[in-house]
Structure 1
Amino acid sequence: MKKFNYLQQIADAGVVAVLRGDSPEEVVAMSEQAIAGGVKVIEITLTVPFALEAITQLAKRYSSKDVIAANYALIGAGTILDPESARAAMLAGAEFIVAPCLNKATVQLCNRYRVPIMPGVMTIQEVQTALELGVDVMKLFPGNLYEPSIIPTIRGPLPQANLMPTGGVNLNNLKDWIKAGAFAVGIGSDLTKEAVKNKDFSLIAKKANEYRNAFLQAKKDLK
């Protein structure tokens, strides 16, 4: 059941912070600010040097076992290209795995350990293949190649597909993606670029809070 609890936490959070940086210390600081701002699902990409150190540090600090706790967060690993990287990330403390593309061996390994995996897909064929492999949520990537209408288009023939657009999602169009049926959305550079430019990571907390509120309002508007 742990796997499905994690998936439910991602769906409830609605926004996944996709964090990249020049060091583990930098992405840990970014993560702390995102969590403080209300975005409590954190994806640390393995393009970060010594990314596993950051994942371990965050996983120890923020326990997802008690979602009521103020310091709870769900920590995952992104840019996973192969099963070896996925297993290393799990052992470092990652509670979910995100990949830029669909790799059968990686999906099989994650299923073996009952860890949620969200592989990147672009085509109907990839979505169907992912479903056949037992994938619960697919990352629609790069999201900036599509309009939100792509989700109901895909879910016409494949209504069981859960899609998380990543790339190109912003505060202006988040509501459109949620209205279109997105499972959640991934937010990367738009969350951190201003903070990095101004060397003020507190701006990440402010932006994260704006994203969290935008998601809650979008869900409210659906009712």
Structure 2
Amino acid sequence: MKRMEIIQQIAESGVVAVIRAESKEQGMKMIEAVKKGGIKALEITMTVPGAVDIIKELSEMYKDEDVIIGAGTVLDPETARACILAGAKYIVSPALNLETVKLCNRYRIAVMPGIMTVTEALTAFEAGVEIAKVFPGNAYGPSIIKAFKGPIPQGNFMPTGGVNLANAAEWIKAGAVAIGTGGDLTSGAKTGDYALVTETAKKFVEAVKNARA
């Protein structure tokens, strides 16, 4: 699948599930539960034990399905390359590292670096980034999207951090192209309630759909 197709699918689905788990087993259960809930973009963070191996396994497992496996919490180009070789279709970073962006451009892989200022956003877009990750979102609130879009109306922004069911629609209405959510989505996994994770995923998908309508 080509880079722009990945970007388009993420934008169309509107929700990226950020998977942070304490073990590979828990991570795999989270992923299956989120997928059942209708979220197609799965971001496996590098904080999960064996994350690169999980990405490789999932990329093979879902190669014929409408699921997009990506890597998150990628801090440097070396890690990005390992994830890409394992099959990651997109790379997400908590901060703007231009060497990581450059490497992803080299491999024609979608990259979504974290930004906090208009300067960082412009730098990211000028480097070829299609979607900038507003992180941490809870440091701003949804109004920051409208503020960014004042001087950069062509920019695509995805908030992550503090995005929950109570404010998901507000972020979309403020102009976010998609939202990234982790702890609020997968909180049921802490008690082994993966049915709750699936139900929460469904609610996030519905919230985005209704906000766009």
Structure 2 residue runs of 5 or longer lacking an equivalent are none
Give the count of matched residue pairs: 213
| 1:12 matched residue in structure 2 | 12
Matched, 1:40 2:40: yes
Matched, 1:52 2:66: no
| CA distance, structure 2, for counterparts of residue 93 and residue 144 of structure 1 | 31
| 1:81 matched residue in structure 2 | 75
Counterpart AA for 2:137: G
Is the 2:26–2:189 contact (alpha carbons within 8 Å) kept by the matching residues of 1?
A: no
Q: Which runs of 4+ in 1 moved over 2 A?
A: none
| 2:23 matched residue in structure 1 | 23
| CA distance, structure 1, for counterparts of residue 72 and residue 144 of structure 2 | 23
- SS of the residue corresponding to residue 198 of structure 2 reads helix
| CA distance, structure 1, for counterparts of residue 173 and residue 182 of structure 2 | 21
Give, in angstroms, the shift of residue 40 of structure 1: 0.9
Is the 1:24–1:53 contact (alpha carbons within 8 Å) kept by the matching residues of 2?
A: no
Give, in angstroms, the shift of residue 128 of structure 1: 1.0
| 1:93 matched residue in structure 2 | 87
Q: Percentage identity across aligned positions?
A: 53
| 2:204 matched residue in structure 1 | 211
| 1:137 matched residue in structure 2 | 131
Is the deviation greater in 150-159 or in 110-119?
150-159
Give, in angstroms, the shift of residue 195 of structure 1: 2.9
Give, in angstroms, the shift of residue 26 of structure 1: 1.6
TM-score (norm 1): 0.93
Is the 1:37–1:208 contact (alpha carbons within 8 Å) kept by the matching residues of 2?
A: yes
Match of 2:144 among 137, 150, 165: 150
| CA distance, structure 2, for counterparts of residue 208 and residue 143 of structure 1 | 19
Is the 1:23–1:51 contact (alpha carbons within 8 Å) kept by the matching residues of 2?
A: no
| 1:191 matched residue in structure 2 | 185
Matched, 1:202 2:195: yes
Is the 1:25–1:54 contact (alpha carbons within 8 Å) kept by the matching residues of 2?
A: no
| CA distance, structure 1, for counterparts of residue 37 and residue 74 of structure 2 | 26
| 1:161 matched residue in structure 2 | 155
- SS of the residue corresponding to residue 95 of structure 2 reads coil
Structure 1 residue runs of 5 or longer lacking an equivalent are none
Counterpart AA for 2:104: C
| CA distance, structure 2, for counterparts of residue 24 and residue 75 of structure 1 | 15
- SS of the residue corresponding to residue 113 of structure 2 reads strand
TM-score (norm 2): 0.97
Give, in angstroms, the shift of residue 187 of structure 1: 0.4
Counterpart AA for 2:79: S
